[in-house]
Structures are given as structure tokens and as C-alpha cells.
Structure 1
Amino acid sequence: MIPKRTLLLSILCAASLSACAQAPDAGDEGRDPAAAPAVEAIETTPGTPEDRARKAIESINPQIRIDSIAAAPLAGFREVIVNGQALYVSDDGKYLLQGSLFDVEAKKDVSQAGVAAVRRKLLAAVPDSERIVFAPANPKYTVTVFTDVECGYCRKLHQDIAEYNKRGIAIEYLAFPRMGLDTPDYREMVSVWCAPDRRKALTDAKDGKRVPTRSCENPVARHYELGQRVGLTGTPMIITEGGVQMPGYLPPDALLSALQQVDASSGAGAGG
């Protein structure tokens, strides 16, 4: 596991990996030169609550990445999704609230719907060719798992990969070298993603076996940036097709039960 960052630190670091983690130099072996895309600007109409919310957030960090601005479940506020977390800015741009927004009558956390929608959009942009997939023939559920080759719970999850598959759960791995970029952990994950048989290389790495050093154009740094953007605080991070984050590592039966509960509460079908 990796330590959970405070929300304020997440906000201040959201715009650039270089502010919070040591990024590899442009010439580093195995580094994808397109790994750090430019910050996408959110367009807002001047004078609107959305525009005032954007300006309020950007006053904290002018280069911050905002993924979504929309009406909040709380009257008089806009919901702003930053770094996989929901913030609430008053329509006049003066006040900012952080933390969960709980609907007492409905008895649910209403701050997660917007976050889940952003996660769905971001993960949908990751091509199948970048994922390392372990899946049954006809999966009932598919989850995205940000994984590291060294963390204990990541290894524990992978040891039971056949059991997840037996329960109809497909595991689609993305890379998250928890020690950061330009580290031995990062370079080993590059070697895994550059291997001719990624599934075997990932299994070997998680079993502590040596993986031959390789370099190629690879998505590891992009996945690392994406993990931060969707709010990763520890590995493995398990996300449903609907963008719902599971509460850390779950054994096969527990994950199946959690996915079924998500179905029951959302009514959106398997994996949603």
C-alpha cells in the first residue's frame, strides 16, 4: 500500500507529476515521449457559476487539471472533479467545501456519482492493447486494476487470478509503479509491458522471478499519471466498469459480492 495523500496536497499536485514524483528525463530508456499529455482546459462561459468555480480552483494552482464542473447536489454550489475527488465551490466562487456529501434521506454518498462518471470516461480512453487481461470466456463483470509488481496485496490478488476468473470476473491490469517514475519499480514494469508475453512476464514479476530488461514505446508512465488522475491512494486500486472504486484489495468471493451489491444499488447491469 502507499500512504493516502491529503486532499489539499492532491489539489496542489494534480497539474503535474513532476511536482509530486520524480519523473524520468526525456531520454530515459523505455520512456514513452507521449506519456505526459498537456493539461486539458475546461471551457466555461464568463460570468457563470461554472466559470467562477473554475477560477476559484485555479487560484489554488493556475495549472491544475479540472476534469468536470457541473451542478452539485447541494443548492448554490458547483461540483468540481479534481484528481478523482469531488470539491464543492459556491456559485459566487467564494467558498470551497471538501469531503463526502451525504444525502441523509436517501442514505447514500452523493459525491461519488460525478467522480465515477469521470473515471468511466478516463478509463474508456485506454485502448485494449495497453491492458494486461486475465479473463474467463464469458465474464459477468470486468474490473480495471491499477497494479504494482512489488506490493504485497497486488501479489496476493494475482495469486488468486484463476479464482476471480472462475467467479466470472475479468481482471484488466493497468500499471502503477508505486515507487514513482525513474525507479527500479518503474523500469521493471516497463520490461513487463514490453515483453512478448505480457501475461507471463507480469506473473513472473509478481512471483519474484527475474524479468528480462526490455524497452519499447510503452504506456507505463501514462497509466501512472492516469492512476493519480482517477484518485488512486493505494495499490491495488479496483474500479468497476461503472467507475465505482472498490475499498482496496478484496478476495475473490468478497469482490464478487461487492460487484453484485453495486449492481443491486445502481440497477445498471453487470459491472456498472
Structure 2
Amino acid sequence: MRLIQAFTATCLVLCNTSLWAQDANLKKTLAERLPSLPKIEEVSKTPMPGVFEIRVQGNEIFYTDAKGDFLIQGALIDTKQKRNLTEERNDKLSAIPFDSLPLKYAFTQVKGNGKRKLVVFADPNCGYCKRFERDLQKIDNVTIYHMMYPVLGEDSKVKSRNIACAKDRAKTWNDWMLQGIAPPAVACDNHNIDAIVEFGKKNRINGTPTLFVADGTRVPGAIEAAQIESLLNGVKP
């Protein structure tokens, strides 16, 4: 038994060493041949024999052979299971655990029983955000965490501050987004907008609206009411 255990342990060490060496060689080869390629952060096997995934800049994915002679950009499809493996991997890489989101900086709206959870990063001057808010009015039994995310200029920052400092932030937000009633000028020191923007930049939230649900799934862009329902019920839009 001890001999078998020792043999197994040795095999694991050799396998891990071999994989590490292969990863290092791939990184070195591709860096030398493609100087413009961003630094490779991770190399991992794919279900396709001889093809490896390389990850750069957080969640950008390429594929290569074992020697780094070829580089592929595009979707890897499992035809037997009818699965887009690249899309699934991107979803996993872009997800953020719900408890890691800066929920303490949000203002909330509770509709119905509020059991379902939705986080929305939005800019008050974003047309897509306004369209999304109209569809969001059709959704019930949800708690919405609104994150003020002014990325479209100085006026967005002013409006975000005025909304975040309002006595009734949810009403002020809805008045502006749904009816075009400009938020009154208000000043306060605890709007936390800078902290939200810092979090968003760190986690590559590059556009508005960007949505997150309870399992951490991220959905960029405005989606319609039926898609919002699917997302809240655990079905990807």
C-alpha cells in the first residue's frame, strides 16, 4: 500500500511539473512571437485534445496548440452537447459573488415579496438605462440594488450625486429616469459614488446598464422584461 501511495504521489508531482513546464513554455513562446499580445495570466486545458485556453486581461480568451504555433480567437463549441464552451467560460470569469458587490453603497427598491435579487449599475444619462428602467417596472417580487455609476461625463456625476443625496433616492431616481424630472441639487458627504466607480473599474464594468443576480451572473446591456424574468429565475437571457 505504501509503495502504491508513494508511486501515485511521484506521478502527481511529475505530472504537475510537466504541466507547469508546458505552461511556462507556451507563455514564453507566445510572448516572443506576439509581443503585442497582453501578458498571459493563465493557461488551461480544454476538452478538445491538443488545444489549450490562454487567458489575458482578466477574461479575454484565446486558444493555442501545445507548441504555440497557432493562435485562435473565437468560440469553442461542443457539438455533441451543443454547448458554447467559450461563452460558458466567459460567464464564469465575469461573474462576481453577490456578497462581494458593494451592496452597502446601493439604494434599494423592494417590489412584492422582494425575494429575488437584482443589482443594477447605471448612469443617469444613459439612454439604454432609461429603456431598461421602463421594462424593470413590469417586474415584481424583486429587491433592486441601484448602483450610481456615472461614466458618461461630468453631468452624470452631478445627477448621480443629487440622486444619491436625495431624501427619497428611489423616487428621485424614478422621477428622472421615467419622467425626465431633473433631480434637485443636493449636497452630502456620504453618497459613496466614488467607491462604486472604483469597484466598477477594478472589476471591468465597462458599460451601463450592467446587471448582476444572486448567483453572481453578470449581464451587460439593457434587456427586456421577459429576459429580466428569465435572468431572475436562473435562466440565462
TM range (shorter): 0.5 to 0.7
Question: For 1:166-203, what per-residue CA distance to the aligned partner results, in whole angstroms no more than 9, with x for missing partners?
Answer: 2x3333233433425xx222343244345454334433
Question: For 1:229-268, what per-residue CA distance to the aligned partner results, in whole angstroms no more than 9, with x for missing partners?
Answer: 15x4x532333333444473233234214554727x9xxx
Q: Determine which structure has the larger strand proportion and give its number.
A: 2
Structure showing greater relative contact order (alpha-carbon pairs closer than 8 Å, 6 or more residues apart): 1
Structure 2 stretches lacking a partner, 5+ long: 1-18
Aligned to 1:49: 23
Read off the aligned partner of 1:71 and give its amino acid letter: K
Alignment check: 8 A CA contact 1:175 1:189 kept: yes
Report the CA distance between 1:129 and its aligned residue: 0.5
Q: Which moved more, 1:46-55 or 1:110-119?
A: 46-55
What is the aligned-residue RMSD (CA, Å)?
3.8
- Equivalents in 2 of 1:200, 1:65: separation in Å? 46
- Equivalents in 2 of 1:129, 1:201: separation in Å? 19
1:253/1:178 Cα in 2 relative to 1: closer, same or farther (>3 Å)?
same
Q: Spell out the pairing of 1:71-90 with structure 2 (5 A cutoff).
A: 71-75=45-49, 76-80=51-55, 82-90=57-65
- TM-score computed with the length of structure 1 as normaliser: 0.59
Alignment check: 8 A CA contact 1:204 1:211 kept: no
Check if 1:129 corresponds to 2:67. no
Read off the aligned partner of 1:198 and give its amino acid letter: R
Check if 1:251 corresponds to 2:224. yes
Alignment check: 8 A CA contact 2:208 2:221 kept: yes
- Equivalents in 2 of 1:199, 1:214: separation in Å? 17
Check if 1:184 corresponds to 2:155. yes
Alignment check: 8 A CA contact 2:123 2:151 kept: yes
- Equivalents in 2 of 1:130, 1:51: separation in Å? 44
Q: Spell out the pairing of 1:1-272 with structure 2 (5 A cutoff).
A: 47-49=21-23, 52-53=26-27, 56=30, 59-60=35-36, 66=41, 70-75=44-49, 76-80=51-55, 82-121=57-96, 124-136=99-111, 138-164=113-139, 166=140, 168-179=141-152, 183-195=154-166, 197-206=168-177, 207-214=180-187, 216=189, 217-218=192-193, 219-226=195-202, 229-230=204-205, 232=206, 234-246=207-219, 248-260=221-233, 262=235
Report the CA distance between 1:55 and its aligned residue: 8.4
- Equivalents in 2 of 1:138, 1:50: separation in Å? 52
- Equivalents in 2 of 1:185, 1:54: separation in Å? 44
- Equivalents in 2 of 1:143, 1:105: separation in Å? 34
Question: For 1:99-142, what per-residue CA distance to the aligned partner results, in whole angstroms no more than 9, with x for missing partners?
Answer: 22222221121113332223333654223202232233544532
SS in 1 for 2:223: coil
Read off the aligned partner of 1:212 and give its amino acid letter: A
- Equivalents in 1 of 2:170, 2:40: separation in Å? 33
* Larger Rg computed on CA atoms: 2
1:153/1:53 Cα in 2 relative to 1: closer, same or farther (>3 Å)?
same
